Structures are given as C-alpha cells and as structure tokens.
Homo-oligomer: A and B are copies of this chain.
Amino acid sequence: MSFKLIKKDKDTKARCGVLSTAHGDTKTPVFMPVGTQATVKTLSNEDLLRSGTDIILCNAYHLYLRPGEEIIKKAGGLHQFCGWKGPILTDSGGFQIFSLATLMKASDKGVGFSSHLDGSKHFLTPEDVIRLQRSFGSDIMMPLDECVHYPCSKERAADSLRLTTKWAQRSKKEHGLNARQLLFGIIQGSTYPDLRREGIEKLLEIGFDGYAIGGVSVGEPADLIYEIVDNATEYMPEDKPRYLMGVGTPADIFEAVSMGIDMFDCVIPTRNGRSGTAFTEEGKLVLRNREFSSDFEPIDRECKCYTCANHYRAYIRHLFNTDEILGLKLVSLHNIHFYAKLMDNIRTAIKTGRFKTFKEKFLKNYNS
C-alpha cells in the first residue's frame, strides 16, 4: 500500500492521507514545487527543505534532452544527480512534447518530435519513457500521454483518448512489477465528462498506483477546470492518490482539495517569485512597484521564512530594481514557503474538521 487515507472531510470531498515512496513519506494534500531541469529555479535543496517542501517534480522530457539519460544513469539516478534526497515525481513530458516541441507526430507506436532547443529529431515510445524514468530512479513515474489543446472537437478528443489509453497499457506492461517506483495513470478526455469517465474506467482496468487528471489548464476557463475535476473525482478510486497536473493558484488549490484532489504541481509560486510577485494571505504583492521602495515591513509579518525573517519589502524592491539575482531567490523562497504552509494549514483543517470554514475564511481575505 503506497497510499493511506487518514481522514475524510465531512462537508466536502476533501481528504488527508500519506503517500509512501522509496524516498520517504509525503502528507497529502501536497504541493510539489516544479524543478523541470532537476532544480527548482533559484532555490537550493536546503532552501526547499527549510521552506517545508518534501517532494519535488522534475520533467523527463527536459532531462532526456539535457543532460540526457546516460549522465543521470552514471550519477546513479536523479536523486544522486541533483542531491535531492526526498521523493521525486517525474512528469513524462507528454504535455511538454505537445506544447514545446515542434514537428510533433503521434502514432500508435509513439511520438516523433523536434527538440525545442536545437531542432534535433527524436522518437519516444511509451516504453522508452518508462525506461527513461527507471534510469532516473523517479519515485513516481508518469506514462507518456497525448495532451490535446482547448478547444478540441469531441471526435479528436476521443481519438486522442484511445491513443493515451493504449500507451497507458504499454507503459504498465513495461513497468511490470517494479514496486520501488510508483506508476500513475493520466486521465485525458478534454472537456467531455463522458470521455473523462471512459478514460478513468480504462485506467482502472489496467491498474495504477495513483491517478492524475491531465489536459487541464490548457486554456479553458477556470469554471470548466473545476467542472472537469469535480466530475472526475466521482469516478476516481478512494484508496489511491489523486493528482491534478499543473494547477494552480491558492484559490484553485482550495477548490480542487474540496473536490478530493491530493496532489498538485505548478510553476506559479516560482515564476511569480522570479518576477517579484509575492503571495500573502491578503493576495499578491508586486514588489517591483514604487510603492514598496520605502516599505520597511517584511513581505508578511506572520511568515517564518528566511526572507521574511531577514528582509524588508524596500530591500527586495531595490534588488528587483537593480536586477540583482538575490531578489529572485528571496521571493521564490517566500512563495514556496507560502504554498507549503498553505498545504499544511489545509491538512490540519481537514484533520480537525474545520476545512470548509478555513477555506471560506481564506478566500474571503485573499484578493486574487
């Protein structure tokens, strides 16, 4: 059993659990900072640990291109390569191949594409992608999937779902009885509830260690994301972790947790951090703004992160104003800490039966 459900909320579909991996346990609901290239941008592993992060996400597509499978294999795996000792989930890169790479051509056999870096031609089968993640030693692997854009016709979405399902079967077969590395299934089906349901049922027949909702946050309105998620969790098994890929804002996370989601990843805290936008319980602060140039308060008085314990908004504004790299790190660090603390508060609220109240209070104060 890699997942243990600890508590179900009485008012919503929210739940608390523990996900066990070869590199340690993670309490859910959890937010996974994005370390696409085996580094969560601007942050050291020590920064991550001190901000309350216990699991990170890396991207198999990016790491396949650079540094490449051989180098990570020689290092003894991704953990050894980047020095992160906790769990690592690797995204297969399906989404990245279909959004970043060019000249992409998907067939039953696999996907051919040109690298977004140098145009070099590549072909990956679902089996290749599993083998790649086996070399990486990922704690949680994601299978190759096809990710359609929004809007997408039902016919196209159904065709794509069939392909993703076939690839899922082959991924599972290639994965075999490897118990050290978990393999999740990815639910596609665009914005069509019946296709999403069909997708889930097929994946359940194959059997995975967890189930992810993919192909959301690809341009559709927020309401539609919530509809897809709320519908999908109705059919997702209770005893397996549920992962909503690429989402989201604090408000998105509250909604999705209410709908029974356990795992999240998103570039929002780090990307915002690098542009000087900090998260607080009242909303976002654009620290580049002149209004902060003489503001001798920390980003958030209550926050316990290194940045808030040591620096004023005025100093951080100065760092951004003078293009100093330290600014990018200080705000990224604060934002990752904010997300980790938010998830911690969400878990506590679920455990103590106060989730609905906590959510309402947070969203009322939070100016998004």
Q: Which residues of B contact A45 (CB under 8 A)?
A: 310
B67 to A326, Cβ gap below 8 A?
no
Residues of chain B within 8 A of A66, CB atoms compared: 318, 321-322
CB distance B74 to A43 under 8 Å? no
For chain A, the count of residues having a C-beta within 8 Å of the partner chain is 39
Q: Are A67 and B306 in contact (CB under 8 A)?
A: no
A247 at the interface (CB under 8 A from B): no
| Distance A177 CA – B296 CA, assembled complex (angstroms) | 31
- Answer yes or no: A123 CB below 8 A from chain B CBs: no
Task: Please name the residue on chain B nearest to A84 by beta carbon.
Answer: B310
Contact digits for A275-308, partner B, Cβ 8 Å, 1 yes 0 no? 0000000000000000001101000000000100
Residues on the B chain within 8 Å of A39, using CB: 319, 324, 326
Question: Given the interface contacts A293-B71, A306-B44, A325-B325, does A318 sit within 8 Å of B83 by beta carbon?
Answer: no
Asked if A38 CB lies within 8 Å of chain B CBs, one says yes
Q: Is A41 an interface residue (CB 8 A)?
A: yes
A328 within 8 A of B: yes
The smallest beta-carbon distance between A319 and chain B, in angstroms, is 6
* Residues in A62-91 with C-beta less than 8 Å from chain B: 62, 66-67, 70-71, 74-75, 81-83
Does A10 interact with chain B (Cβ within 8 Å)?
no
A100 to B326, CA, bound (A): 23
Is A42 an interface residue when CB atoms closer than 8 A count as contact? yes
A-B contact pairs, 21 of them (CB 8 A): A37-B319, A37-B324, A38-B315, A39-B324, A41-B325, A41-B326, A42-B329, A44-B329, A45-B310, A67-B293, A67-B317, A67-B318, A71-B294, A71-B318, A75-B296, A75-B312, A75-B314, A75-B315, A82-B315, A83-B311, A325-B325
